[in-house]
Amino acid sequence: MAVDLQQIGKRFRFYTHLKELELDDLEKMTGSSRETLSNIISGQNYLLDELVAILKNFQDLNPQWLIYGEGSMFKPMDEDGTCHDHHKGCLKKDKAAYLKQMKDMLLELDAAEVAKGHHADVEALKAKLDQLKASE
């Protein structure tokens, strides 16, 4: 299966928006340069070695989903129901505008996946967003 840098960038941007991580946060967490992070998010001009080094800093992010669009965005939770990400928690329940932004990004990601012929676990993400919206 071919690796599509732009698709990886869109998925990484979706993940970082969902986790409410800005470029400054990513620089501090990963130790990577702003330029490298910007290139990954924009889907151009980076090496997979750089991506793999950055991925080690995101304990809850499923690399299979990020790189190939397969499976769930998040790795399974621990047996006690806690998430692997100790920086920010699994999902931050926030305002309706935040959820709408996430839903819009998900629709963009879904359209890109469909255009590429991928069948990612987008329905599960939509259901999760709907569930968060309903819990507000």
Helix/strand/coil for 58? coil
d(CA 108, CA 116): 12
pLDDT score, position 93? 47
State the DSSP H helix or E strand holding residue 33, giving kind and residue range, or none if neither.
none
pTM over 0.85: no
pLDDT in tens, 44-90: 988 888 999 999 999 999 998 999 888 889 887 654 444 444 444 44
pLDDT score, position 71? 85
pLDDT in tens, 86-122: 444 444 444 566 667 777 777 777 777 666 665 556 6
pLDDT score, position 36? 95
Buried b / exposed e along 99-125 (16+ C-beta atoms within 10 A): beebbebbeebbebbeeeebebbbeeb
Residue owning tokens 């505008």: 97
CB 48 within 8 A of CB 36: no
Instruction: Give me the long-range contacts of 44-53 (CB less than 8 A, separation at least 24).
Output: 44/5, 44/6, 44/9, 46/5, 48/3, 51/8
Tally of structural domains, the chain? 1
CB 32 within 8 A of CB 26: yes
Residues spanned by the domain of 60: 5-134
